[in-house]
Structure 1
């Protein structure tokens, strides 16, 4: 029922579109409905529904999964068989999704995000809510290095919890008659919750909303002056696009809650589709704390992260938000969940200099030389970097403030770029290459000597930090 309705909904959308576009004099759906063959429309809908629900039911019957100590297996496919494996020691995040239709049936989809390409994750769905929570706890416990006392059986998606599938994939799958010991859910400590009023006001204080309001005002003026309301239909596409973006932001960030547990950072949010995310310790590759010009009066900030498993959602950014809008203290609190120890005696002073300081503010940041004014007359004084014992901090942006924090052990690669004008002025831009996501670590228009020195020293710090990093299974002790 959860998957099959999409086919029927698509057919209804096409019919509705054709009804609006055509009329009886042009044929179309309206003309067909008023003809003696009107019965073909509901008959076609019934046939499309039967095909959609029938294929969904067959795909449901062909979906099975298995959980081993090291790997999760998923087998599915009707026409083309597919068997996928995900290593638990490469687990980056575990999400429990509940689309609106699935919530009506008490079902959830469990998605495992692993380090890899854009299609490296495994989605197991749909399961009963209790089964999805139990499986999430089991996977997080095994990914942390906690060995189960009894193996988990292979299960079919359509069977009740604990019902075995005797044709499980791979030798890693355990015996079908083994009892199951459910892994207990790690206790969590609530950190903060974003009030709905603050979320609404923050969306109103964005450039997109202002542009949207100006767009509507201009449209109204055009209709009144020209007397042609048909112009509304000519611009309906951008109207829907901008409105859809704002509603999507509100819907996905609604009731946003942050908590911390032994499993990692837990995020819960969503209006129509609810999502419970769990990001295990050490999986965040980079963090950005940003503030737009219209948020400066309230001193609100937005926190986003790069996580290797969320590469597929990097464009939309729906899974990469750690805090949609919060005060300065809340933003720094969320940052401390990712990086509890910044490696300096006074971390607050360093972060304050990164959030709102510039080259005129005393602090640990190395900024751009005065010659940078020729290539960045507005924001050159905000460009700068600082190094602590645990991370590299990069700040930029005069109108749109950005502070990026990259843990040393999460440095993927480094680079220096310099255009013709930069080379003539003795400047260069420094970049940290991270996994795909909304965070793009970099600082522009540094002195060329400072950029070269930072490149050499940061490469050495990254090698040393990776050598001292803890195990991928975070509950295991050092070997």
Structure 2
């Protein structure tokens, strides 16, 4: 039975997207559930400052507390030989020891309480028509100012401790890197969702009223407020979404077991066993213990971070939800993805699985949470070829080619010059005996496609308007063989777009042509506020006063249902 009108048609195994008429879904602009009409920002009142939850300073300081406890435990273990003497001394002065311990506990609790009260009074945030502001700090005061036009993504994150208290953080990722990002939290989870909705609506160019029927957070105690008396922050209904992809947990576990890292671990363990046999000493095997433990930690980080992975589309952009202990709800606005990479390991070919990553400004910087480092740049943890092409379609609905099926066949699995790919010349076989015919570059009307890898297949797609700059790299051997690597510079992230070992003359010609092509694409891209391009109505508070309303559906411009088939319909 054919799917309902407006729903993307799923791809079967091996099937590729084909062009279809109609507006692109998901990230392509569509009216959110905020009624009204776009208009100029309200400049009559200043920002309404809001405070975070009162236990936020304590939750933020838990890492410091854990580090202090770890130091004390290590010190105690180092002095283990003196424990009998200390225990006898405690027994002799039992009452005094109990009083000292209670005094230390009360002193720590008093200091922590005073610090939390002062830190909470100084921690306040505001969302205006121009920026997201955050003030914090007692001795060293900090002010964060994130302009709406520079916002790359907005996440709602619930760490394990936050989930125990029903609290969440709102992370506003900007193009300036980790130091310029704004982390608002902790807030009640519904309040965090409401703040995310408000930030996304304002960043999209939707006029949001300065006051609403309900507040997303209490007014900061003693905080300045230039708004009208009695006003409260607006409650914005979440933009409707439609789930497109879901990764079963069993598939995630199986993909980790047959991942390329497993092959590397088995090869390393085999080498250690051989070394131990030749040396007639089991020492090398025990020496590999830390590496094995590191691999287990890596697998756990992947599993916990990508657990229950779901991908949805909405007028706000691409919605990603995942996480086991720490849950993360990401919203990446349209056009913020700088590059996309599809990869497939050798063992994944048996199952037809692919992994999709992305470069987004702000996500590529180092984070304080090293366990989940890199998870935020995953667009699809593991899926079929159809799933991977659907994820690519969300970022780039139009590949700029009439024969989309033939282009994608040659890009993800092909070799040679099929579909118009430029490959490494024959003289490059001395440097690339196995991957020479797999290395390739294809330029379409809308993007650069760079493929590489014989054992681990890779396809990198960079939209022309997202090309930051271009460069040519040549080593001494490459100069001797008249070869060059063409590199499209992107923001910091897991993807490095490179076309390997092209003819050096061809690489220089492409460099000049692509620079002009990227400049023209950036000039025609339009305003940053994507919802203003189609005259999206201004925001109104949710009818029920609760964030997350309005999920029943929405319409694209022209009456097409949201999530309808686009130029490259999956």
SS of 1:437's equivalent in the other structure is coil
Report the Cα offset of residue 443 of structure 1: 0.8
The 3 A distance-change label for structure 1 pair 464 and 290 is same
2:332 counterpart (239, 264, 279): 279
Q: Which residue of 2 aligns with 1:403?
A: 459
| Cα shift readout 1:353-379 (whole Å, capped 9, x = no counterpart) | 1111111x6222111101111112221
Report the Cα offset of residue 7 of structure 1: 3.2
Query: Is the CA contact 2:156–2:330 (under 8 Å) kept in the aligned structure 1?
Result: yes
Report the Cα offset of residue 176 of structure 1: 5.1
| Cα shift readout 1:383-441 (whole Å, capped 9, x = no counterpart) | 11111111110111111111000000001000011122222222111000100000100
| Cα shift readout 1:335-369 (whole Å, capped 9, x = no counterpart) | 1000111111122321221111111x622211110
SS of 1:309's equivalent in the other structure is coil
Matched, 1:253 2:306: yes
Q: Which residue of 1 aligns with 2:153?
A: 93
Structure 1 unaligned residues grouped into runs of 5+: none
Cα distance in 2 between the residues matched to 1:43 and 1:203: 50
Matched, 1:333 2:390: yes
Report the Cα offset of residue 293 of structure 1: 1.4
Cα distance in 2 between the residues matched to 1:364 and 1:324: 30
Range with greater deviation from structure 2 (122-131 or 448-457): 448-457
Query: Is the CA contact 1:94–1:277 (under 8 Å) kept in the aligned structure 2?
Result: yes
Structure 2 unaligned residues grouped into runs of 5+: 1-57, 92-96, 536-570
Matched, 1:469 2:522: no
Cα distance in 1 between the residues matched to 2:115 and 2:267: 46
| Cα shift readout 1:214-244 (whole Å, capped 9, x = no counterpart) | 767868x979x86899x85x66543432221
Larger RCO (CA under 8 A, 6+ residues apart): 2
Matched, 1:136 2:193: no
Q: Which residue of 2 aligns with 1:62?
A: 122
Matched, 1:370 2:430: no
Matched, 1:358 2:415: yes
Query: Is the CA contact 2:121–2:222 (under 8 Å) kept in the aligned structure 1?
Result: no
Alignment of 1:149-164 (within 5 A): 149-151=209-211, 161-163=217-219
Q: Which residue of 1 aligns with 2:133?
A: 73
1:419 counterpart (475, 487, 490): 475
Alignment of 1:77-226 (within 5 A): 77-151=137-211, 161-163=217-219, 167-168=223-224, 174-175=227-228, 177-212=230-265
Root mean square deviation of aligned Cα: 3.0
Report the Cα offset of residue 20 of structure 1: 4.9
Query: Is the CA contact 2:144–2:180 (under 8 Å) kept in the aligned structure 1?
Result: no
Query: Is the CA contact 1:97–1:273 (under 8 Å) kept in the aligned structure 2?
Result: yes
Cα distance in 1 between the residues matched to 2:358 and 2:84: 53
Cα distance in 2 between the residues matched to 1:431 and 1:187: 38
1:15 counterpart (72, 79, 84): 72
The 3 A distance-change label for structure 1 pair 392 and 177 is same
Cα distance in 2 between the residues matched to 1:45 and 1:296: 58
TM-score if structure 1 supplies the norm length?
Answer: 0.88
Report the Cα offset of residue 42 of structure 1: 8.3
The 3 A distance-change label for structure 1 pair 211 and 53 is farther
Count of aligned pairs: 463
Query: Is the CA contact 2:364–2:494 (under 8 Å) kept in the aligned structure 1?
Result: no
Query: Is the CA contact 1:65–1:168 (under 8 Å) kept in the aligned structure 2?
Result: no
The 3 A distance-change label for structure 1 pair 14 and 456 is same
Report the Cα offset of residue 19 of structure 1: 4.9
The 3 A distance-change label for structure 1 pair 226 and 384 is closer
The 3 A distance-change label for structure 1 pair 61 and 180 is closer
Q: Which residue of 2 aligns with 1:312?
A: 365
Query: Is the CA contact 2:158–2:169 (under 8 Å) kept in the aligned structure 1?
Result: yes
Q: Which residue of 1 aligns with 2:489?
A: 433
Cα distance in 1 between the residues matched to 2:456 and 2:211: 52
Report the Cα offset of residue 48 of structure 1: 5.4
The 3 A distance-change label for structure 1 pair 412 and 21 is same
The 3 A distance-change label for structure 1 pair 150 and 57 is closer
The 3 A distance-change label for structure 1 pair 375 and 95 is same
